[in-house]
Structure 1
Amino acid sequence: MSRLVLIDGSSYLFRAFHALPPLTNAAGEPTGALFGVVNMLRSTLKDKPDYVAFVLDASGPTFRDAMYPQYKANRPPMPEELRAQVQPMRQIVEALGFPLLCVEGVEADDVIGTLAVQAAQQGMDVTISTGDKDFAQLVRPGIALINTMSGSRMDSVETVMEKFGVRPDQIVDFLALMGDTVDNVPGVEKCGPKTAAKWLGEYGTLDAIMAGADGIKGKIGENLRAALPRLPLNRDLVTIKTDVALEGGPDTLAMRERHVEQLRELYARYGFHQALKELDGGAAPAGVAETEPGRARGTGRVSAPSSRATEAVDPALSAPGEYETILEPAQLLAWIARLQAADEFAFDSETNSLDPMQADLVGLSFSVEPGKAAYLPLAHDYPGAPAQLDRRLTLQQLAPLFADAGKKKLGQHGKYDLHVLRRHGVDVHGYRDDTMLESFVLNSGSGRHDMDSLAKRCLGYETIKYEQVAGKGAKQIPFSQVALDDATRYAAEDADITLRLHRVQAPRLAAEAGLEQVYRDIEMPLVPVLASIEANGVSVDVDELRRQSADLSKRMLAAQQQATELAGRSFNLDSPKQLQALLFDELKLPVLVKTPTGQPSTNEEALEAIADQHELPRVILEYRGLAKLRSTYTDKLPDMVNAQTGRVHTSYHQAGAATGRLSSTDPNLQNIPIRTDDGRRIRRAFIAPPGRKLVACDYSQIELRIMAHLSEDPGLVRAFESGADVHKATAAEVFGRKLEDVTGNERRAAKAINFGLMYGMSAFGLARQLGIARGEAQDYIALYFSRYPGVRDFMERTRQQARERGYVETVFGRRLYLEYINQGTQAQRAGAERAAINAPMQGTAADIIKRAMISVDAWLADHRERALMILQVHDELVFEVDADFVPTLLDQATGLMSAAAQLSVPLVVDSGVGQNWDEAH
């Protein structure tokens, strides 16, 4: 059967432009969209279709514009960076030999639809290469859709139903109901895909829905009835024509002869090195990207080392894998021998819970070479499940292998797996590499660092999703109930893809000595340290938390009553809509902050902005603060006590904040307010057991000290070296006072400037914070820079370096790439400049405390019975210590923390001791 591939060039051009980073060639010409389209074309050529067409929208109006003058009226003009790539794209398409079609008066969709239907009627097998959902209406026997960017395919009623919840023949009605904001086709207000699919499931067709509109209740029914006059037009607008008059049919679309010299010239000009090597009969090394990745659009300056789109890799790393299920003792022994003989192996665990402190091990997977992996099921218990190897005995056989520190292991977010194996009696040593952390160190801001995202981005591989084997929603089954064939396909792939990702990312890290050092010396050694802290957990006083919850509830009720009195009527304090009407329509308070849709905002910033004009916003803010503390901590923490350990175990995330800062969840300990009495009360509920104390060690003003080190400003360095109150010293400099004459307000202003500058605070922001005029705030900043010119020079130097490099670095070489430093809107560029100044300080502070944790943990190895590291929050470490061991711990921990970095100013560590966290802080 002949095969026809129809390429939706217009769709891919725009998608590639928005999916890829701002790439340029050596001459500074934009190449991002071009790069994506060329990769897609090369992929199409490898499939060797019999017939193919690259279809673009023609310029000028179409028949839809005549039907509806507002059609696509809200589309912005094509960005200049994209417009510059259209003509070279056409040149490459034609030089490759692809028939290129543009038909005036219709859209590319209509040309494709016509050719697809004609070809299917002639018995051809048709594939439409697109990312446009509208084409789902064409799916039928002989016509399939493939999205080459995601790898997804729709080729049957079932696949369309799975994606949209409706059949292909219902897609037009589905789209008519929802409308299309991109094409400016207004649908039924508030009717999203779920509602549209529900109605079509009940009524069958748009006509039937319209006929039964009076029977649809509620606001959505009103919206439907209001939209009835325009729905027939919607249907016409979203229907792809399949009867366009074309000069030739599908059988005229054979590939033309390619123009090699023209291709060579174009590939060389735009930096497509892999394509150039293929053209000349060679092949690029595995993991080598097509262009110099991530050059900032229009600047020619190097930015990120990897893009958000798929990079060129060894085809072997993108091919389907071969997987084995281990059910027999002989198979297990053979795999243990393979693992022992390998230089390194990837592993992954399958469990019945996302909580590593409670999860039961269901199975393990292993891989020693790309494309080869095995799944070892240990606890699948569905009816009829095959007999599996005994979990306890099997883990005993595997334990020596995992305990061997000389045997390199790797994983993806392996800290979870370390927890699970430890709880099942298997200690893991030699955990050498983690693909999540490799990606994070290479470019923390490049997107998500989960395995599915990395597989798509780095390998062009679409992984099997958990929902595909276990179902979703209320019908989702635990992994122990997943059939072994499906479980093997899913679990073995995890280990296989982890190994493949490592083979791609490790060379990229090795090529960047500074990043490799951050990865090897900071991030990887920290994994077992964090696992240990999480496993240690912390004791909480449940009775104290319940007393606090009761008190917060009383105060919330009082705040509600006060708000009712101030408003003169009752209203729901938790309803933004009711608040909006009350504050801005009834009380006529000014709208100072708006939502992205232009509506008056009632968020915290908006209420703070008007709190000086009426008492009600302040009461609402108080109510929200109390409610958040109760729901997040005092109500929730008692339920988070682990039944087995009697303690609360948070989870720390290394690949969260782009600057390298750790974050925590379940519970989030970073957000407990420490400047309010209520926040400190919550800390009182974190307690030491009898005979022990809590010790808190906290870096003093670490980011300001890093600012002094990086700026080398003599005045700021001198202030820290003298050991004086740095904010008071700053005030003395700025306001020309003797240190002893500085007033409290002057110190407060100096503190606001010190910290505000690090976060890019403007004169407007400083004025608002201090409650002074903007001009006065600007004078403060000017005085500050006149006294600390090194800080001003550092800030300007950092901005300039960021523009030239596309990134900034910490003292230890961690990078933060700044996507908008040379492009985007003025607001985006300003935000990137603020990040450029702040990131070296925040990132260095993060690196320092991570280095400290590694050093302190190593010292604690010989004192585990006497002291535990139990919490890390911002710049603070918290320990649980035998009462008589406190002096030793204080001496060692503060010393090691102070020695975690050699700065030009002292690293000072404050410490405290108490029976609870608040006392110790």
Structure 2
Amino acid sequence: METDARRLVLIDGSSYLYRAFHALPPLSNEAGEPTGALFGVVNMLRSTLKERPEYVAFVVDAPGKTFRDELYADYKANRPPMPDELRAQVQPMCDIVEALGMPILRVPGVEADDVIGTLALQAAADGIDVTISTGDKDFAQLVRPHVGLVNTMSGSRMDSDAAVMDKFGVRPDQIVDYLALMGDAVDNVPGVTKCGPKTAAKWLEAYDSLDGVIEHADEIKGKIGDNLREALDRLPLNRTLVTIRTDVALDAGPTDLALRDADTGVLRTLYARYGFKQALKDLDGGAASDDRASAAGQAGTRNTAAGYAKSAPTGEAPDPALAAPGEYTCVDSGEALDAWTARLASADGFAFDCETDALDPMQANLVGLSFAIDPGEACYIPVAHDYPGMPAQLDRGAVLDALRPVLQDAAIRKVGQHGKYDLQVLRRHGVEVRGYADDTMLESFVLNATATRHDMDSLARHYLGYETVKYADVAGKGAKAITFDKVALDDATRYAAEDADVTLRLHRVLSARLAQEPTLERVYRDIEMPLVQVLERIEANGVRVDADELRRQSADLSRRMLAAQQKATELAGRTFNLDSPKQLGALLFDELGLPALVKTPKGAPSTNEEALEAIADQHELPRVILEYRGLAKLRSTYTDKLPEMINPDTGRVHTSYHQAGAATGRLASSDPNLQNIPIRTDDGRRIRTAFVAPEGRRIVACDYSQIELRIMAHLSGDAGLVEAFASGADIHRATAAEVFGKPIDAVEPNERRAAKAINFGLMYGMSAFGLAKQLGVPRGEAQDYIAQYFNRYPGVREFMERTREQARERGYVETVFGRRLYLDQIHARNQGLRAGAERAAINAPMQGTAADIIKRAMIDIDGWLEAHREHALMVLQVHDELVFEVETGFVDTLLEAVVERMCAAAELRVPLVVDSGVGSNWEEAH
């Protein structure tokens, strides 16, 4: 049926209210009335109304039971009563909805979902385009021609079969069966135990419908098959409970839901009462052309409950004014530059940001700078834009000369977002920034590493309820993208000045929250912030790489890859593409008849590394394929790629370190990723021989010995472990002696190997099954090893139980220095998710403490190097290892200073031990 371009928007009001309540901070007006949920809902509604749909309805649940309660007495029985502070916002919400001109629908006996479903299909049948505004995945079952979904909180749309398939892996007509299999924890509908999205989608791909899955239940193997068969009796009821009804008898049809004119008088009174300043301003005609305050209400709640509803620190609620658009100025004259420079010089602090024409700070050219002293006002100073018809701009050298005294004044506090990049760019342009005091990326990361991503756009949505201008909005994306120096000055000013403004706003919110958490603030002030400039110097130092050596290695790897290809062809009896999983699967499983022990998420035989390892003892070909893949990965990732990454200006490779990557606080690196160079194979270690020292210098490597085990000893306080480390014994031999009940000098190599697997495995939550698989012993024997270990080291078991209990009580665990890791799934109903969180609870304090220790060491060592930079450079940090490039005559001095500082980076119950080495290349030193 052809559309007549009429539109109906159906708003899932109950979902809006709850999600806004859990996502936004506990705001209140001057009278103390709660307004947080109301603020979020109002902003989303105002955004929806900008599109001026012909028809609209705000649909909420009616009080009382529904037909689903009659079918299933425990339906939604696990839901707590509505909090008082939320209940107080329901009537004000309805008052505002009415004043906006939207009909409100409540139908007894059914849920809001059923009302929406009925109206959606009625409207679609009449050729009206329907948008269901919701974040509830259940509505995906309604997607069809003329009916689509929009998640107003995230801005995402789902309006086609392909979009539903991409999101869930099933068609819209399979969503009901998909939900029936998984169940719904929110509504207390129990699904098939351990059947998650991937399993449900796999079954429906294989059998098309719930009826097909039920019919073929006997074919599904393993524990999950048993779980399915146990659930068969309740699956038809599940299907009924999760099906949105589309036949509800309603007093009004779609065309009865015309959007009325707003009652501006009532709205003005309500907005004023609840402190919605931007909404009030817009109502009175002062709206900005791009009303980002409204959009903020949509996107600001994207990370539902992350950081607010959980046990993460929340601090004071941000002022709603922080979500309002700012006023931005382009500085294009000497007078304007002088005025801003004077303001910056007299300020106690300011936020700043650099715009460049490339992502690599070691090669990027400075295109402009932005500054903000007060929230809501910022400037952009373009210095290197270049496009036809461009207005006048100031000379880059003159601008930097004018700003240099301010940027290099340590008494003026600077704030940035991922400022390490900006510090590097400015250093390369002759300005060494001093007084870099705060970084919003790191403030967020320390407050809660898992609540949200830590880029500026995500932080603005999460903490300010503010939707930023995206880079792609001004520079495009894909093949049509332009570099920032080609962006028109008006667009560049709007984008760049906002960066500085939003950074300052974020700092106001995040610093206040950190101030309420003294332990976290110490992690931020004593570890993360001092490390920024340490990492910036390491990255700028770079490391020499011998390109010729890497080319020789590439040639050798290529020869061996060819040999492996020839061997594989010989074993297969025909040629085939070793890089094609499809051809390989057909050969292994169809022609050779090998068992498919590992499956893809869609149920097809897998040819990944795990799958090939599982059958490598049954035929020689899988082992040859694994060898080929290992060689190919080394060549493509390192020996071919590293020479291309040598900076043409410095002749060195400059990696980038990421402080806000791993939740445990461990540093990560990229471009290139030097953390993942394999060291367990000769070929992997050989790559390190290409990291070399210049003539007259040496490479020095210093590595913490068994640091996580030492931290385990410290945290557990187990007398046996502490004594073993204090005595300097080989901890794995000592553990073997305890577990196998023999003198330490009688321990055999295989027993030490087993003890090592136990020592490290327990830290990572390894089960008896996993240990048995690793050691190649029966599961019962592995279980005996673990039991004996805990018998000999009872403090370790007590530590693990204590840590799990603390994690359940507080929702997080801590490192020795107070860094927190929040465990979102520690109370999950799904046993697998909950067990994963418990494993993380045990391991994270050790990994996190190890990360904190090496960071503290790096800061101390960098301070000592300040006076010796002509003699030595810190060039790499990899896991628990620091690598230096040192003048030959200065090696002994450096080793003494570095080892002393690494050992003193923490006071534990057991000594920290550092292994060191010296060589002409990294492998020799390591």
Query: Where on the TM-score scale, by shorter chain, does this alignment land: which range?
Result: 0.7 to 0.9
Instruction: Find the aligned partners of 2:568 and 2:14 in 1 and give their Cα distance.
Output: 55
Structure 1 counterpart of 2:116: 108
Please give the residue correspondences for 1:206-605 in structure 2 after superposition, counting only pairs within 5 Å.
245=253, 249-250=257-258, 303-305=311-313, 313-605=318-610
Does the aligned pair in 2 maintain the 1:179–1:185 contact within 8 Å?
no
Structure 2 counterpart of 1:97: 94
Structure 1 counterpart of 2:872: 867
Structure 2 counterpart of 1:659: 664
Structure 1 counterpart of 2:11: 7
Does the aligned pair in 2 maintain the 1:357–1:535 contact within 8 Å?
yes
Structure 2 counterpart of 1:73: none
Instruction: Find the aligned partners of 2:899 and 2:165 in 1 and give their Cα distance.
Output: 64
Give the one of 35, 38, 58 matched to 1:54: 58
Structure 2 counterpart of 1:41: 41
Q: Are the structure 2 counterparts of residues 292 and 343 from structure 1 closer, same or farther at C-alpha, using a change threshold of 3 Å?
A: farther
Residue 634 of structure 2 is aligned to residue 646 of structure 1? no
Instruction: Find the aligned partners of 1:470 and 1:621 in 2 and give their Cα distance.
Output: 43
Q: Are the structure 2 counterparts of residues 617 and 303 from structure 1 closer, same or farther at C-alpha, using a change threshold of 3 Å?
A: farther
Q: Are the structure 2 counterparts of residues 52 and 482 from structure 1 closer, same or farther at C-alpha, using a change threshold of 3 Å?
A: same
Please give the residue correspondences for 1:652-731 in structure 2 after superposition, counting only pairs within 5 Å.
652-731=657-736
Q: Are the structure 2 counterparts of residues 116 and 406 from structure 1 closer, same or farther at C-alpha, using a change threshold of 3 Å?
A: farther
Instruction: Find the aligned partners of 1:589 and 1:117 in 2 and give their Cα distance.
Output: 53
Q: Which moved more, 1:590-599 or 1:409-418?
A: 590-599
Displacement of 1:602: 2.1
Does the aligned pair in 2 maintain the 1:296–1:822 contact within 8 Å?
no
Please give the residue correspondences for 1:134-213 in structure 2 after superposition, counting only pairs within 5 Å.
148-150=152-154, 184-185=172-173
Letter in structure 2 aligned against 1:55: V
Q: Are the structure 2 counterparts of residues 865 and 918 from structure 1 closer, same or farther at C-alpha, using a change threshold of 3 Å?
A: same
Give the one of 842, 854, 857 matched to 1:837: 842
Q: Are the structure 2 counterparts of residues 249 and 747 from structure 1 closer, same or farther at C-alpha, using a change threshold of 3 Å?
A: closer
Structure 1 counterpart SS, 2:373: strand
Structure 2 counterpart SS, 1:864: coil
Displacement of 1:522: 0.2
Displacement of 1:477: 1.0
Instruction: Find the aligned partners of 2:75 and 2:600 in 1 and give their Cα distance.
Output: 26
Instruction: Find the aligned partners of 2:254 and 2:811 in 1 and give their Cα distance.
Output: 48
Letter in structure 2 aligned against 1:520: R
Does the aligned pair in 1 maintain the 2:452–2:462 contact within 8 Å?
no
Instruction: Find the aligned partners of 2:42 and 2:377 in 1 and give their Cα distance.
Output: 27
Please give the residue correspondences for 1:853-864 in structure 2 after superposition, counting only pairs within 5 Å.
853-864=858-869
Q: How large is the RMSD of aligned CA atoms in angstroms?
A: 4.4
Q: Are the structure 2 counterparts of residues 149 and 826 from structure 1 closer, same or farther at C-alpha, using a change threshold of 3 Å?
A: same
Structure 1 counterpart SS, 2:652: coil
Structure 2 counterpart of 1:203: none
Structure 1 counterpart of 2:744: 739
Does the aligned pair in 2 maintain the 1:369–1:499 contact within 8 Å?
yes
Letter in structure 2 aligned against 1:108: I
Structure 2 counterpart SS, 1:868: strand
Q: Are the structure 2 counterparts of residues 428 and 800 from structure 1 closer, same or farther at C-alpha, using a change threshold of 3 Å?
A: same
Displacement of 1:810: 0.2
Does the aligned pair in 1 maintain the 2:164–2:170 contact within 8 Å?
no
TM-score (ref. length: structure 1): 0.78
Letter in structure 1 aligned against 2:444: S
Residues 505-532 of structure 1 show CA distances to partners (whole Å, capped at 9, x for unaligned) of 1111111111000000000000000000
Residue 764 of structure 2 is aligned to residue 759 of structure 1? yes
Instruction: Find the aligned partners of 1:344 and 1:137 in 2 and give their Cα distance.
Output: 55
Q: Are the structure 2 counterparts of residues 257 and 908 from structure 1 closer, same or farther at C-alpha, using a change threshold of 3 Å?
A: same
Instruction: Find the aligned partners of 2:791 and 2:651 in 1 and give their Cα distance.
Output: 56
Structure 1 counterpart SS, 2:354: strand
Residues 356-410 of structure 1 show CA distances to partners (whole Å, capped at 9, x for unaligned) of 0000000000001111000000001101111211111210111111111111001
Displacement of 1:583: 2.6
Letter in structure 2 aligned against 1:149: M
What stretches of structure 1 of length at least 5 have no aligned partner?
25-33, 63-76, 153-162, 165-170, 188-222, 227-236, 264-272, 279-287
Instruction: Find the aligned partners of 1:181 and 1:672 in 2 and give their Cα distance.
Output: 35
Does the aligned pair in 2 maintain the 1:114–1:242 contact within 8 Å?
no
Instruction: Find the aligned partners of 1:919 and 1:732 in 2 and give their Cα distance.
Output: 33
Letter in structure 2 aligned against 1:97: C
Instruction: Find the aligned partners of 2:166 and 2:48 in 1 and give their Cα distance.
Output: 38
Does the aligned pair in 2 maintain the 1:115–1:242 contact within 8 Å?
no
Structure 2 counterpart SS, 1:97: helix
Residue 893 of structure 2 is aligned to residue 905 of structure 1? no
Give the one of 619, 627, 632 matched to 1:627: 632
Q: Are the structure 2 counterparts of residues 296 and 600 from structure 1 closer, same or farther at C-alpha, using a change threshold of 3 Å?
A: farther
Instruction: Find the aligned partners of 2:515 and 2:862 in 1 and give their Cα distance.
Output: 27
Please give the residue correspondences for 1:59-74 in structure 2 after superposition, counting only pairs within 5 Å.
none
Instruction: Find the aligned partners of 2:92 and 2:36 in 1 and give their Cα distance.
Output: 17
Displacement of 1:127: 10
Letter in structure 2 aligned against 1:451: M
Does the aligned pair in 2 maintain the 1:871–1:877 contact within 8 Å?
yes
Displacement of 1:722: 0.6
Give the one of 852, 855, 879 matched to 1:850: 855
Residue 921 of structure 2 is aligned to residue 916 of structure 1? yes
Q: Which moved more, 1:44-53 or 1:805-814?
A: 44-53
Letter in structure 2 aligned against 1:185: D
Give the one of 760, 773, 782 matched to 1:768: 773
Instruction: Find the aligned partners of 2:124 and 2:587 in 1 and give their Cα distance.
Output: 56
Q: Are the structure 2 counterparts of residues 459 and 584 from structure 1 closer, same or farther at C-alpha, using a change threshold of 3 Å?
A: same
TM-score (ref. length: structure 2): 0.77
Residues 267-319 of structure 1 show CA distances to partners (whole Å, capped at 9, x for unaligned) of xxxxxx999xx9xxxxxxxxx99x9976999xxxx633359xxx952121000
Displacement of 1:246: 6.5
Instruction: Find the aligned partners of 2:558 and 2:425 in 1 and give their Cα distance.
Output: 38
Displacement of 1:612: 2.4
Identity %: 66
